[in-house]
């Protein structure tokens, strides 16, 4: 019960990593706010927690709107109390060819994947500063440390998330607030499954992705949530502005070996 009576906000908690993380926090005693744009999934996760005698509140939230995010944090304070922990998990995949991609797609990617993270931080920091204590974990990506071809502009936004994390961490560390980020690799989530379904042979695409991993499989949401839980706990209060890579070793590879053996 590391998080007994702690108030935790998880954005994008209606599925995938966010869902698993929210449920784990609740099992360890936290009061969890499910902040998601999808009412059906958000309520579903909230009900899962409530039926297990946990404490959860669903608040429909569009992280691309600061007004909406701020209202969600205000409702959190009214229902549960001032937030102790924020997990900025909400995100979308936007991939396109740079010169052919409409400006609207660029803006859509950044509005969720970077602005959404900043808006979450901006909304909770005043509450945390009043207590001189708080924790924020921003979910970045391996796209934030290496470039995978044909994924523009997603990696640009994720590089920004890591930069934002470091900048805020330095400014608020002396005020009792720790801010870090986590960069997952290929994780078996609904959003990844939807990506595979866009391919001519989804099963083949999945197998190819798995074979690219040194570990020969994709990660699980449990494996990411476990690290987020550790980063949010008092067990790692000396970790400031870090970006933890949890990717099964995929970013250790510069390229695939070819038949010539050339380096």
Q: Which residues are identified as catalytic?
A: 154
Q: What angle separates helix 115-131 from helix 154-172, to the nearest 10 degrees? A: 10
**How many separate helices (H) and strands (E) can be counted in the chain?**
9, 7
Can you tell me which residue has the tokens 């609207």? 104
User: What's the token pair of residue 42?
Assistant: 């958000």
Among 40, 30, 8, 4, CA closest to 190: 40
Residue 160 has, within 13 A of its CA and on its CB side, a CA count of: 15
Task: Quote the radius of gyration of the chain (alpha carbons, Å).
Answer: 18
- For CA atoms 141, 145, 150, 153, the dihedral sign is positive
Instruction: Pick left, alpha or beta for residue 50 (phi over 0 → left; psi -120 to 50 → alpha; otherwise beta).
Output: alpha
């Amino acid at each position: 019960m590391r998080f007994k009576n702690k108030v935790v906000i998880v954005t994008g908690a209606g599925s995938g990593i966010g869902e698993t993380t929210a449920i784990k926090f609740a099992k360890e005693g936290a009061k969890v706010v499910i902040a998601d744009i999808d009412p059906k999934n958000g309520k579903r996760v909230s009900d899962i927690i409530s039926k297990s005698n946990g404490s959860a509140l669903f608040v429909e939230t569009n992280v691309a709107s600061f007004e909406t995010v701020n209202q969600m944090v205000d409702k959190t304070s009214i229902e549960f109390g001032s937030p102790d922990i924020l997990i900025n998990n909400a995100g979308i995949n936007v991939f396109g060819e740079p010169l052919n991609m409409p400006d609207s797609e660029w803006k859509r990617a950044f509005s969720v994947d970077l602005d959404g993270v900043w808006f979450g931080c901006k909304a909770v920091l005043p509450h945390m500063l009043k207590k001189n204590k708080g924790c924020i974990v921003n979910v970045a990506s391996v796209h934030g440390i290496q470039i995978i071809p044909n994924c523009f502009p997603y990696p640009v936004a994720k590089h920004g998330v890591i930069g934002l994390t470091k900048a805020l961490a330095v400014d608020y560390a002396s005020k009792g607030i720790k801010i870090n980020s986590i960069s997952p690799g290929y994780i078996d989530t609904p959003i990844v499954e939807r990506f595979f379904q866009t391919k001519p042979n989804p099963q083949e695409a999945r197998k190819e992705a798995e074979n690219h991993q040194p570990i020969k499989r994709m990660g699980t949401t449990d494996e990411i949530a476990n690290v987020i839980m550790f980063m949010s706990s008092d067990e790692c209060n000396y970790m400031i502005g870090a970006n933890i890579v949890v990717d099964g070793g995929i970013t250790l590879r510069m390229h695939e070996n070819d038949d010539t053996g050339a380096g």
